[in-house]
Amino acid sequence: MYKMYCRSYQGIMRMSSRFLPWREPELIEGENSLSKLPKVIKNQGVNRTLIVTDKGIIAVGLMNDFLENLRSEEIEFVIYDKTVPNPTIDNIDEALQLYKTNDCQGIVAFGGGSPIDCAKGVGARLARPKKTINQMKGVLKVLKKMPPLFAVPTTAGTGSEATLAAVISDSRTLEKYAIMDTSLIPHFAVLDPTLTVGLPSHITSTTGIDALTHAVESYIGRSNTKETRQWSVDAVKLIFDNLYEAYTNGENMNARKNMQKAAYYAGMAFTRAYVGYVHAIAHTLGGSYGLPHGLANAIILPYVLEYYGESVHKPLAELADVVGVCEPSDSTSQKASKFIKAIRDLNERMEIPSKVNCIIERDIPLLIERALKEANPLYPVPKILYKEDLLHLIKAIKA
């Protein structure tokens, strides 16, 4: 009965999704392409902009040239740099205040998924001044234009530069949830690989597996389309071909460029075809314990894929073929196992742990409740899971 309700809900979402005003960001791509952004901002009629970023980006001086170029174009700016990983409602409120008191006309999101999502939160509040972030939780609660948003990703993972989602944490309830609305898709995205060459190796690895998780969860879900499957396949291939190289040899510009593209493709795939239980569990661990999103996904992904069992053998076997980790003579289930093993091996080579060590036993019922609330009925997962399944999974990943 419950399963039928979930599947019908997903069916309705799948059909109505066709009528949504989907946009893709206009891409500004290539080495040093960031230098083109100030002119683009100016051409959009933006003379004063808010920049949303974080302390880590400021500390490594990643924005310096860009700020200089903004000055040359006579674009005024005000910087909000207090965004935390797993950005909070407080971050959004503070940045919004800066936007308003300085009469800004657009927003530059400069950083990983956290600053980009924080900037989207500001955009949502500007589009809907009477609604709180909490009231915009879930699907299609914004439905109004926000000011121009220019996303400059500096990690190759979340794909937030391509997606309709902003994932926000409420520091009071420790809940982490998504606002999903096509009006939050950035208007411009800068894919400049020079911005990621200095990314520390542990962030390269975990954010890269976040992108892999987007590609895989959208590929095995039931709302994928021919187009999203192709984006997923392209992303999976690029990630297996480039992530380890980017991790070990961060200066390899080609590997960085390919990872940036992979994250973007994976974002394009999941913004239409959704994610699944891996993300639902990762979000609840991010909200409760501040566990970095990519790390959480990297640990959880193989467990959930294994647990899905036969329901994912066919799509995972296809991905095993894409990556080239199996023999043509292998059976479908052998191929699927080999794909899961390839993810485990990649994690291990990048020294990503296989268990989460911050889960507190007494929190488990709440973690389960929140993960299920996020995933069911919305995510078109290959197999509907229940409390006891999540209990099994969380116990398995807990150190």
Ligand X SMILES: NC(=O)c1ccc[n+]([C@@H]2O[C@H](COP(=O)([O-])OP(=O)(O)OC[C@H]3O[C@@H](n4cnc5c(N)ncnc54)[C@H](O)[C@@H]3O)[C@@H](O)[C@H]2O)c1
Sites of contact with ligand X (CB under 6 A): 54, 56-57, 60, 62, 85-86, 111-114, 117, 154-155, 157-160, 163, 165-167, 195-196, 198-199, 203, 207, 210, 286, 293-294
Q: How far apart are the first and last CA of the chain?
A: 35
Choose from Fe ion, ligand X, none: what does 157 bind? Cβ within 5-8 Å by kind.
ligand X
Distance in Å, CB of 155 to ligand X, minimum: 4
Give me the numbers of helices (H) and strands (E) for the chain, helices first please. Answer: 15, 9
Cβ atoms of residues 344 and 302 within 8 Å: yes
Distance in Å, CB of 120 to ligand X, minimum: 7
Residue whose CB is less far from Fe ion, 38 or 287: 287
Residue whose CB is less far from ligand X, 268 or 336: 268
Distance in Å, CB of 212 to Fe ion, minimum: 10
Q: How many CB atoms lie within 10 A of CB 162?
A: 27
Which residue of this chain has its Cβ atom nearest to Fe ion in the complex?
210
Q: Is the peptide bond before 377 cis (omega within 30 degrees of 0)?
A: yes
Residue whose CB is less far from Fe ion, 216 or 316: 216
Residue whose CB is less far from ligand X, 86 or 105: 86
Radius of gyration of the chain (CA): 20
374 contacts Fe ion (rule: CB under 5 A): no
Distance in Å, CB of 12 to ligand X, minimum: 22
Cβ atoms of residues 200 and 62 within 8 Å: no
Choose from Fe ion, ligand X, none: what does 203 bind? Cβ within 5-8 Å by kind.
ligand X
Residue whose CB is less far from Fe ion, 216 or 326: 216
Distance in Å, CB of 207 to ligand X, minimum: 4
Choose from ligand X, Fe ion, none: what does 294 bind? Cβ within 5-8 Å by kind.
ligand X
Give the helix/strand (H/E) hosting 68: helix 64-72
Choose from Fe ion, ligand X, none: what does 96 bind? Cβ within 5-8 Å by kind.
none
User: Quick one: tokens of 27?
Assistant: 């891409």
User: Quick one: tokens of 235?
Assistant: 């992303």
What is the Cα–Cα distance from 317 to 26, expressed in whole angstroms?
A: 34
Choose from Fe ion, ligand X, none: what does 204 bind? Cβ within 5-8 Å by kind.
none
Give the residue from 195, 116, 152, 155 showing the smallest Cα distance to 38. 152
Measured in residues, the chain has a length of 399
What is the Cα–Cα distance from 16 to 354, expressed in whole angstroms?
A: 39
Distance in Å, CB of 62 to Fe ion, minimum: 22
Distance in Å, CB of 349 to ligand X, minimum: 20
Q: Are β-strands 76-80 and 106-111 bridged in parallel, bridged antiparallel, or unpaired?
A: unpaired
Q: Which stretch binds Fe ion (CB under 5 A): 103-111, 182-190, 210-218, 318-326?
A: 210-218
Distance in Å, CB of 213 to ligand X, minimum: 9
Q: Which stretch binds Fe ion (CB under 5 A): 44-52, 204-212, 245-253, 378-386?
A: 204-212
Residue partners of 12: CB distance under 8 A and separation at least 6:
none
Q: Which stretch binds Fe ion (CB under 5 A): 87-95, 196-204, 208-216, 240-248?
A: 208-216
Give the residue from 66, 52, 167, 62 showing the smallest Cα distance to 115. 52
Q: For residue 9, give the 3-state DSSP assignment.
A: helix
Distance in Å, CB of 384 to ligand X, minimum: 23
Q: Which of 54, 161, 181, 210 binds Fe ion (CB under 5 A)?
A: 210
Q: Which residue type does 58 have? A: I
Cβ atoms of residues 115 and 83 within 8 Å: yes
Q: At what angle do helices 226-248 and 201-220 cross, to 10 degrees?
A: 160
What is the DSSP-derived secondary structure letter of residue 25?
A: P
Choose from Fe ion, ligand X, none: what does 114 bind? Cβ within 5-8 Å by kind.
ligand X
Which residue of this chain has its Cβ atom nearest to ligand X in the complex?
56
Residue whose CB is less far from ligand X, 60 or 358: 60
What is the Cα–Cα distance from 247 to 356, expressed in whole angstroms?
A: 21
Outline where 88-225 has alpha helix (H): 89-101, 113-127, 201-220
Distance in Å, CB of 204 to ligand X, minimum: 9
Choose from Fe ion, ligand X, none: what does 163 bind? Cβ within 5-8 Å by kind.
ligand X
Residue whose CB is less far from ligand X, 156 or 394: 156
Give me the residues that bind Fe ion (CB under 5 A), please.
210
